[in-house]
Amino acid sequence: MLDVLFPRLSGGLVTSLNRTMFSFAELDAIPIELIEQSRLQRAMLFELAMVRFEFFLDGLSDASWDDCLKVAAIRQSQHYGVRIPEKLEQCDINVASLAAHNLTWMLRSVKAQHPNARLEKAPFIPGFGWIASGNGDFSLGRILIEVKHTDRNFVAGDFRQVLMYWLLKYASSIENKRDAWSDCLLLNPRRNSALLVNFDYLAESASANASRVELYELLRSVAGREFDGR
């Protein structure tokens, strides 16, 4: 379905988008030598960082690392092949702390540029037809924010994910007369890299120059007419 909606989201476009990446001068990437000291699976390691940040965001900065591990274990247990550690080593805590710190700084910096916008955790992504509803990482006003703790540049799958979130949100906004997101901010605290892109530009570039209305009609033909517009 994503290939039907966004047939031009290929290597050339992705390379062009990645040329617009930027970093935060106050931050450093997490050294690979530090990451390699941890024996945790990378998904678990950086899930810990996300949980740590979310505790801080919720005003629970006194939460212990054991508390973080419990929440991260619940989240990661939904994935096949995950290994849940019984306890954390100091090297695990060091990496997760740095990643959480970088994410905190990044979002504070972005929030300072949009002082009147509200930072929302896990914004709701409406379902449509047979497409289930879900949640994104964060939003700030009309900016969707997705976090990727990878050792690479952003890839086509990252852009497909956020484009689908945007299109589902737009489909819901038509019915509910609510604003859809206008821009997407991809953040990688691990590498200290970020990318901001306008959704209309991204959608037109990734499709056959289709407008958002044309993409909505194509979504209806592929996924059905009903949506979960909570």
pLDDT by position in tens, the chain (length 230): 788 889 899 889 999 999 999 999 999 999 999 999 999 999 999 999 999 999 999 999 899 999 999 999 999 988 878 888 999 999 999 999 999 999 999 999 999 999 999 999 999 999 988 888 999 999 999 999 999 999 999 999 999 999 999 999 998 888 776 778 999 999 999 999 999 999 999 999 999 888 888 998 888 888 765 444 44
Q: The tokens 């497409």 sit on which residue?
A: 131
Q: How many CA atoms lie within 13 A of 167 on its CB side?
A: 30
Q: What is the C-alpha radius of gyration for the chain, rounded to an integer number of angstroms?
A: 18
Tokens of 161: 């994910």
Whats the size of the chain, residue-wise?
A: 230
Tokens of 26: 């106050």
Cβ count within 10 A of residue 38? 21
pLDDT at 225: 55
Quick check: 227 and 129 in contact, CB under 8 A? Answer: yes
Residue 2 and residue 188: Cα distance in Å, rounded? 24
Residue 143 dihedral angles phi and psi, to the nearest 5°: -105, 125
Tokens of 189: 């605290």
What is the number of helices (H) and of strands (E) in the chain? 9, 9
pLDDT at 224: 67
